[in-house]
Each structure stands twice: as C-alpha cells, then as structure tokens.
Amino acid sequence: MKTLLSTLVLLVTISVFSQQENKGLTILVNQLGFKPNSEKRAFISDSEERNFKIINNSNQEIVFKGEISSPKYWEPSGTNVGIADFSSIQKPGKYSIVVGNSSKTITIDNSVYEALGTKSLEAFYLARASEPVLEKYAGIYARPLGHPDNIVFIHASAATDKRPEGTTIFSPRGWYDAGDYNKYIVNSGITVHTLLQLYELFPEYCKTLKLKIPENSNQVPDLLDETLVNLRWMLTMQDPNDGGVYHKLTSKYFCGMVMPEDDKLERFVVMKSTAATLDFAAVMAKANRIFFKMDPNFANSCLVASKNAWNWAQKNPNVLYVQPKDISTGEYGDNKIEDEKYWAAIELYLSTKNADYLNDLPTNLKITTPTWSQVESLGAFSLIASTDKVPDSKIKDKIELVKQNLLKTADQLCQANQVSPFRISMNSFSWGSNSDLANQSLLLLHAYKISGDKKYLKTAEDCLHYILGSNPLNMCFVTSFGENSPKHIHDRRSSADKIETPIPGLLVGGPTTAARSDCGESNYKSNFPALSYLDMECSYSTNEIAINWNAPLAFLVNAINTINQ
C-alpha cells in the first residue's frame, strides 16, 4: 500500500464488504446513471420493504412510486434481491431512489457514459511502452519513458540459425499487458481486434471520438492512432526469416512494484507458437482492411506479414507454447489451436477474397463468448461486419449460418439474463469475471446489429449496469468512476507512482474464487463467488487490470454511446 493511511482505509473497506454479506437493506444501482431511453432498475437486497419512490432532487417532488418485485435468491452471492423498476422516467436530471430509510442518488442523462467512453480508451495511452507519457495528455499520471526495448534478447527457446540465442532485436512500442510490464502477442490479438471492430461497426462515431493522445491532431481517427501503437510493436515480433511470431516479450520474472523507468531487468522474446502466429495473422489481415485507404503502404505491409504468418502456421500447425524453466511471467498457453486457425482464415479471406483460406472452415461455426483463448467468434464478428463486401454467394450462405448461430448464443444469454435476480447473463465467476460479462455484451451487440432486436441491446446494457454498480458488492469496477470504485489495484504503475488514486478508466478483473491464495485465504471474507473480491494490491486474481479486459469495456460503453445518441 502507498501509505499507512491507505492501509487503514483499506481495512475499513474490507470490513464493510464482509459485513454486507446477507445483512441489511442495500440499494444497488448503476453509479454513473442511465441514458434517458434505457431500462432503469435498482436492486434491493435483503429487505422486507415492498415499495419505493423516486424524488426529483431539483424540487424534491415525488415523480414516481412503485412496488419492489418479490425477492429472489441469487446463489452466487447468497443474497435475496428484489427489483425497483423506474424505466418510465426519461427526463434528464438528478433523482433519488428512496426505500424505507435508505436512499441513493441517480443520474439520468444522455451523457452519463461519455467520460467513461474516452477514459477507457485513454487508459491505453497510459499503458504505452518505450515512450514518455506526457503531462499534456496524462496530467498527474505522466511518467518518463520506460522499457525502450531497443535491446531485446533472443531466448534459447526462440533461437534459430539466423537468430541464435543471445542475439538482440529491436522491439519497441506496444502496451503493457496488465499489472506487469511485459507484452504478449496472444493477449494483444483479441485486444487490438476488439478496438478495430469498434471502428469497423461504428466508423462515423469513432471518427469524431477525441482522445488525449499525442497524435490527436493528425488525420487518422484517434482510436486507430492508439491501435497503431500496438500494431507496430506486433510487427517487430515476427521473425522476417520464416514468418513465425514470438509468443511474448518479457523479463525472465516479474519485476517488483516499481515504475516502468525503474525496471532494469533484461528482456527477451520467447519461443514462437502457433497460437501467437495465427492471432498475429488474423489481426494483421484485419488491420490491412481498416487502414487501406488511410495508409496503403502500412496496410500492405500488414497483409504481407499476415500471409507470412499463415504460411508458417501451415507448416507448424501445433506448436504449443511451453513455458521455459527460466521464465515465470504470464504464460497465455493454449492447447487448442483450431479457433485461432478459423479466425485467421476468415480475416485473410476478407482481405484477399481468396476462398481457399476458408477450405477448412466448418459449416457450423461454433459461437461462444470470446476470450483470449477462444477466438472463433472474433472471426464471426468480422464476417458480420463485412457481409456486404463478400462477392461469393456460397460464402454469403455460410455467413448467414454464422449469423443464425450467433443469434442462438445471444438468445441463450438473454434467457440467462431474464432469470437472474441481478439481470445479468453470467452465472459463473472465473478469472476476469467482469471481462467475461463485457465480452458477452460484444456478442449481444453484434446480435443487435444483425437483427435490430432491442432485447439484445437491453441485455448488453444490463451487463454495463452490473459492472458500474448493480452488483452485490455495491462496487463500480472501473477505477475513478462511481462513488465506490477500486482504490488499490494490482498494477505496478498505480502502486509506485505515489498518487493516491489509481490510473482512471481501468476495469478490474472482479470476483472469482480461482486464486484466493494471492492475499491469503483468510482475507477473503466470503465464500460466495460473486462476493469473492478484495480491493487490495496483492489480489491479482480479482483486482488486476489488463488490456484485454479494458477493450471490451471500451467497446461496450462507446457502442451504447453511439447507439443511444
């Protein structure tokens, strides 16, 4: 912790969280507020009260009275939850919801998510490697250049005749992956795709999106400028001699909780893997299409790199990443490569119109919530965004099947939402549970884009409401937003910068029982999965941040901002 005061505040916070379990009326609501035309609910936990009222704060008039729905037990949190629905209120303003002797302030306004939309993207600027983060754009979070990555060693696992062990390469730029300072191709794959997909689905909105980054005065949309930072790093991770892509750039072990400029550990590129190479191929093929009109030379270099990576993967179809004994940083190991192959094949087809890439694509492509290790849905998203650009009628028929499969999966999420007392589509809490919910929203928003059916949009918005406070922890899981947000995240920059508030706009992983030994089992005061969360720096299992978690948050928030304008 940064100071003794922080520690004392933290202990009080933990005590409040532990006492909240099953004890007393709590009003749980999105702490940022609601769009005027959105559905609006507060969740009332463990209360015998059956009525609520909404008061207009400007004149103290009661503008709505309603009944709280019969409480339902939610097994993941062990709480009984009723719903206070006030969706009929659409006039912008500040209101209070009153239940018994308890109340909470509610904002209704079309701009409630605007700051979150930009901050969730500007967080990527604050994660840049190999350049200073400037006060003009970062304010108090400015810092000197860290990790120039101009001398990166070839690890023994990555050595070839032309690049033997101990030789060096130049691999600057990119984003720090999470709470550490390493850079991983597999995790960069889904992250960059998600941001490029946001642009592909909502180009006009993204062209007007202004971010506090050094490139914001050029002719390239700011969102794309930010993705270029990581794309250019990714290109340095390809071996030009054979097309294979290194799995990660890393120190041999995690550095201490220091600022980037103070981490002096040697850095290495570690073995090539099929998963990393196919993820790279997919992202570069997509980048080719996005940047073709803006920068044809860069776009063409991306397509050449993509094809070379694909060819390497064809010759090396099952090179699984195995962590070398002298490396102990993030693994991102993946034992199933078919989904990466499908994704890369789809992106290359869309960029080349060569149907041979789709020869092995199954007729009935499986659609699941995307994660870094489960990426076939990313290819499906790209197909959906590019249907009108596909010349082959047989391929269009395949796309229609993909759309139907996506809608079936989205329907399952909507059904789960309807039976959940907290109106969310998730009922399990794996590592990064908040990102699972955010990625479910991506699938739902694509279903809405296909069908125009607002049930998908509403279910996606419910995902956001949960993340921003409508959850049993009464927590807005995004740093520096809402009245109760994470203060002690597992992030080396926020730990070492001597600033009390963490870097803003970061989504923490959220509740899970996956690794409660990180802070010691006894510190986790609840065994309920949805309550198994600690706002402690040591809690890398629940309170770390990551680029692949912030990307779907940014997608969700900005998509809702443009859809509900």
Q: Distance between CA atoms of 189 and 341, rounded to whole angstroms?
A: 13
The predicted structure's pLDDT at residue 426: 95
Smallest CA-to-CA distance from 272 within 166, 156, 191 is with 156
d(CA 468, CA 490): 19
**Residue 324 belongs to a domain:** yes
Reply yes or no on whether the pLDDT at 1 is more than 60: no
The letter for the amino acid at 99 is V
Q: Is 544 tagged catalytic?
A: yes
Place of tokens 């499969």: 405
- pLDDT at residue 24 above 70? no
Structure tokens at 427: 């009922």
The span from the CA of 283 to the CA of 233, in Å, is 13
Tell me if 140 sits within 8 A of 501, measured CB to CB: no
Question: What is the pLDDT, as a whole number, of residue 7?
Answer: 38
CB 415 within 8 A of CB 526: no
Within 10 angstroms of residue 517's Cβ, the number of other Cβ atoms is 8
132 and 85 in a common domain:
no
> For tokens 């479910």, what's the residue?
440
- Other CB atoms closer than 10 Å to residue 354's CB: what's the count? 10
Question: Any residues with CB less than 8 A from the CB of 438 and at least 6 apart, and which?
Answer: 463, 467, 507, 549, 552, 553, 555, 556
In a domain? residue 151: yes
How confident is the model over 490-522, as pLDDT tens digits? 999 999 999 999 999 999 999 999 889 999 999
- 176 with 286, same domain: the answer is yes
Shared domain check, 189 and 58? no
Residue 479 falls within a domain, yes or no?
A: no
Q: In the listed set 110, 133, 159, which residue is the last one of a domain according to the structure?
A: 110
Assess whether pLDDT exceeds 90 at residue 545. yes
Do 163 and 189 fall into the same domain? yes
- Residue 470 reports pLDDT greater than 90: yes
pLDDT over threshold 70, residue 417: yes
- Averaged confidence pLDDT in the chain: 95
CA-based nearest residue to 193, from 283, 291, 289 = 283
Q: Specify if 9 maps to a domain.
A: no
Instruction: Give per-residue pLDDT as tens, 135-184.
Output: 999 999 999 999 999 999 999 999 999 999 999 999 999 999 999 999 99
Cα gap 538→557, rounded to integer Å: 28
**Residues contacting 353, CB < 8 A, separation 6+:** 391, 392
Closest CA to 543 of 500, 514, 564: 514
pLDDT tens digits, 297-317: 999 999 999 999 999 999 999
Does 351 score more than 80 pLDDT?
yes
Q: What is the mean pLDDT of residues 377-399?
A: 90
Statement: residue 339 has pLDDT above 50: yes
Contacts for 212 with CB less than 8 Å, ≥ 6 apart: 118, 122, 125, 136, 137, 138
List of residues 6+ apart from 452 with CB closer than 8 A: none
Residues 144 and 75 in one domain: no
- Mean pLDDT confidence for 58-85: 98
pLDDT bracket for residue 20 (50, 70, 90): very low
Residue 442 identity (one-letter amino acid)? L
| Separation CA 99–CA 119 (nearest Å) | 33
Helices 376-385 and 433-451, axial angle in degrees (round to 10): 30
Cα(457)–Cα(441) distance, rounded to whole angstroms? Answer: 8
Tell me the C-alpha distance between 195 and 224, whole Å: 8
166 shares its domain with 80? no
Q: Which residues pair with 452 in a beta bridge?
A: none
Domain final position from 48, 82, 110: 110
Total of domains in the chain: 2
Residue range 41-68: mean pLDDT, rounded:
97
Asked if residue 541 lies in contact with residue 524, where contact means CB atoms within 8 angstroms, the answer is no
Residue 18 belongs to a domain = no
Average pLDDT over residues 9-25: 41
pTM for the full model?
A: 0.95
For residue 226, being part of any structural domain is answered with yes
Q: Helix 296-315 and helix 222-236: axis angle, to 10°?
A: 40
CATH number, domain with residue 185: 1.50.10.10
Q: Are residues 437 and 554 in the same domain?
A: yes
- Residue 96 belongs to a domain with what CATH number? 2.60.40.10
Q: Which of 100, 24, 89 is CA-nearest to residue 57?
A: 89
Helices of type H across 492-534: 492-496
Of the three residues 92, 110, 128, the one that is the final residue of a domain is: 110
Give the span between the Cα atoms of 158 and 153, in whole angstroms. 10
CA pair distance 298, 178, nearest whole angstrom: 27
Strands 246-250 and 268-272 come out as antiparallel
pLDDT exceeds 50 at position 64: yes
In a domain, 376, yes or no: yes
The model's confidence at residue 17, banded by pLDDT at 50, 70 and 90, is very low
Rg (CA), the chain: 24
Measure the CA–CA gap between 482 and 357, rounded to whole angstroms.
Answer: 47
Assess whether 211 and 345 both reside in one domain: yes
Task: Tell me: pLDDT of 9 over 50.
Answer: no
Arithmetic mean of pLDDT, 479-489:
98
CB atoms within 10 A of CB 69: 16
**Integer Cα distance of 459 and 411 in angstroms:** 10
Same domain, 434 and 411: yes
Q: Is 188's pLDDT higher than 90? A: yes
Task: Give 12's pLDDT tier (boundaries 50, 70, 90).
Answer: very low
Q: Percentage of the chain surpassing pLDDT 70?
A: 96
Quick check: is 535 catalytic?
A: yes
| Per-residue confidence (pLDDT) for residue 15, from 0 to 100 | 33
Cα–Cα distance list, 356 to 345, 346, 359, 361, 550 (Å): 9, 10, 5, 10, 35
Active-site pick, 334, 491, 535, 537? 535
* pLDDT, tens digit (0-9, with 9 covering 90-100), for 422-457: 999 998 999 999 999 999 999 999 999 999 999 999
Q: Do 126 and 250 belong together in one domain?
A: yes
DSSP element (H, E) containing 38: none
Name the active-site residue from 200, 222, 242, 544.
544
Residue 91 has pLDDT above 50, yes or no: yes
In this structure, are 99 and 170 located in the same domain? no
Do the beta carbons of residue 304 and residue 369 sit within 8 Å?
Answer: no
For the stretch 250-293, pLDDT in tens is 999 999 999 999 999 999 999 999 999 999 999 999 999 999 99
What range does the domain containing 247 cover? 114-469+546-563
- Does a structural domain hold residue 100? yes
- Look at residue 155 in the predicted model and tell me its pLDDT: 99
Q: Are residues 441 and 337 located together in one domain of the fold?
A: yes
Contact assessment for residue 334 and residue 343, using Cβ atoms and an 8 Å cutoff = no
pLDDT of 323 higher than 50: yes
| Reduced DSSP (H G I as helix, E B as strand, rest coil) percent helix, strand, coil of the chain, to 5 | 40, 15, 45
Nearest to 129 by CA among 175, 197, 72: 175
- For residue 542, the one-letter residue type is T
